[in-house]
Structure 1
Amino acid sequence: MSGLSQIGRSQTFWIGTTVIFSYWVVAPWLDTNSQTEWLRAILISVGLTIVVAYTPGVIKFLITPSPVQAQQLTMGIVVAWFGTAMAGIYLLLWRMAGQPPWMVNNDLNGWWLWWQIVGGVLHLTAPRSIENEIPRPNFARLWVALLAGIALGYTVAVMKPDAAGFVDKLRPYISDALRAPDNTG
């Protein structure tokens, strides 16, 4: 059987493709601001759930005398999704605080992107990881992530809490403390 016909028979491929493009069935009728907040909230909860699900595997690999080759892929999953979730939290705080410019021009944005890049590099350089044991999907965790995303989305998009005071209290620790020295002058 050719590779193309095998892909054509793959339920995973067709379900995944349908779910991905179903976004465009709904997106044109939603307010972009609320939609972004909801999607970011779900992304955060899914990301943190992935971190929680895969971290025991990373710990097991780190304490096992003979590590398996899948450890690099598993670690890449944890690192990349941690960076994604933290960037999502930071962006939600930024939106909830009225989008203060100082939060955009900040090294913390680069820090979360760096986590994602390092995670991606670990994925790309993981030797023969598909042949080894990778944590099985856990639908209970998926439901917890979905419900947490809905709760966070409701809090941000519907209740619209004002995070300006909270974010202002963080400013001395983020804005000034994480600034690289100015070597231009």
Structure 2
Amino acid sequence: MYDWDPLIRFLPDLRVVSYNFRPGAWNWQTALMDLAKVIEYFGLVRPAVVGHSLGGMVAALWATMHPECPLAVNLDGHTNPTGPVLRAFIDEQLDASGDPDLAALISAFDELDLIATYRATQCRLVVVSSTQPEFEQMLPDEVGAAFAAYRGEFAKQLGAAAADTPLLSLREIATGHDVHLAAPEQVAELIHAGLNQV
């Protein structure tokens, strides 16, 4: 939870509660139930929901069910790339890990249509994408090129969704995946801006 501290420092006017998802086999419903329990436990009323990576996708799902939510923010949370090269690479890594919890997580990613989720938002939703190609640089050349192509195609689909979804807005931040650590002040600014529009 401490990785949110850099961002929290730029949100002194807001009450911030952070938490990690429970370990073990993953599914979206359990994550959403956990989020609801945290909100109830702390007595939060109509809180904004901000998540990073996997948590960002949960925030987006929350936005489809809670029109009373003033703001949801997904910080660089994207589903699995598709296509034969990337799919083969993911499957190879999954087989090598032998981790059933990881297998459940990958399966949950595969089941989620994130673009459809964005289009279904019922409250203001900001999707933040990092722009530095750190993942591509860590992958074998063929896989890295395929991943770069995936990012480009996903960005087009995301733009099309935002064009006809008034509650959806997009931001790019020139960092790697951990945008809340690399650019906490920028993330805090977009949170404040989103809340000020309510």
Q: Do both share a fold (TM > 0.5)? A: no
| TM-score computed with the length of structure 1 as normaliser | 0.32
| TM-score computed with the length of structure 2 as normaliser | 0.31
Could you say which structure has the greater relative contact order, defined with CA pairs below 8 angstroms and 6 or more residues apart? 1
- Bigger proportion of residues as helix: 1
- Bigger proportion of residues as strand: 2
Whose Rg is larger? 1
